[in-house]
Amino acid sequence: MGRPLKVAAAQVGAVHRTTSRAEVLERLVKLLQDASTQDVKLLVFPETTFTTFFPRYYITDDEELASYYEYETAETGPVTQTKNVKAFFQRAKELGIDVQIGYGEDTGNGRYNTAVYVSGKTGDVLNKYRKVHLPGSTEPFDLNPNTTNQLEKKYFLPGNYGFQAFRASSLKETCGGSSPIVGQLICNDRRWAEGWRCYGLQGVEILCCGYNTTAYAPQLWGGDQNISREKAYEEAMFHHKLVVQAHAYTNSMFCITAARAGNDDDRHPLIPGSMIVDPEGHIVAENKTEEDELVIATIDLDDCKQGKERTFNLGKHRRPEMYGRLAEEGGVKPPPEV
Ligand code: CDV
């Protein structure tokens, strides 16, 4: 192995609306400790990891809504220093593990669906990503407590940092003297080719993606409103794997996906599907449960070379002058009827 790295997805099982932050933190720290025992160097956690996936609820109580965010202002400093969650980041630093973790960010001026990548060496935030593609609606489908809503457009602003890759300098020595090039996505972003290609164009070798993907929400997906729960789950898993494997392959990069899984409140099921995918699109490790679980693999970043230098040598084969529409158009513009 030329540039070996032991990585893992930290899948997190059910977190109910009533689950306390203290309980969640305890579970996350246990995952960190188990990863450390197995010598994992990079651990990827899900989207909005510290709380339940609150955008599924229509929340009218401002205080409750506020409780789901981390306050990250000029006074508090970075999320790693904020009182609710600093114990998690301290432990990661003590154990020397790089982490990516998602959370609701409140800057005082705006709220975002955010993920930070933090160095296990220094405890510094090496990169912050804000989710670009916010799915769902601004109004609830209905107020039935059994309905899984998707109110991210109501609770978050769209991410404004773009798709900026960075070097995980913390992992330089482990990776044969050359820092891995890392990109970040959050959940729905993984379904859009645009972000992946932006990262491919920066030579990304490891794409980290945490998510909360509902296993049953016919109102959200459209189509057959009488779809069975089993079929809906199967479809959600199929599409999750389809996009991750295909985009990892066409951009010649590893991808680590970390699920918030389980059945929240015993009525809002989420798919698992935590996995590590290689640059040829193969799954090299995946979850076995729907609970808290580490999915671990030792990868070799040199395996990205073949795709980057040959089949998907972007500099050699791309024709950007043919792709103008991609940057110019937002929605679909069909050709005129003749
Ligand atoms: N949290 C998400 O972004 N979830 C979405 C929805 C549409 C299920 C997803 O793409 O997985």
141: closest CA among 223, 68, 58? 58
Average pLDDT over residues 220-246: 97
Quote the CA–CA distance of 184 and 189 in Å, as a whole number: 9
Q: Which of 189, 214, 233, 238 to mutate to test the pocket of ligand 1 (most atoms within 8 A of CB)?
A: 214
What pLDDT, on the 0 to 100 scale, is given for residue 1?
82
Average pLDDT over residues 199-208: 98
Residue 47 a catalytic site member: yes
Helix (H) / strand (E) containing 295: strand 293-300
List Cβ neighbours of 7 (8 Å cut-off, separation of 6 or more).
40, 41, 42, 43, 44, 206, 254, 256, 276, 296, 297, 298, 299
Count CB atoms within 10 A of the CB of residue 194. 13
Of all protein residues, whose CA lies closest to atom 6 belonging to ligand 1? Answer: 213
Ligand 1 atom with least separation from CA of 47: 1
Candidate list 41, 128, 131, 308, residue with the active-site label: 131
Residue 333 a catalytic site member: no
Q: Which domains does the chain have, with CATH numbers?
A: 4-328 (3.60.110.10)
Q: Which pLDDT tens digit goes with each residue over 130-183?
A: 999 999 999 999 999 999 999 999 999 999 999 999 999 999 999 999 999 999
Phi, psi at 272, each rounded to 5°: -85, -115
Query: 187 CB under 6 A from ligand 1?
Result: yes
Query: 36 CB under 6 A from ligand 1?
Result: no
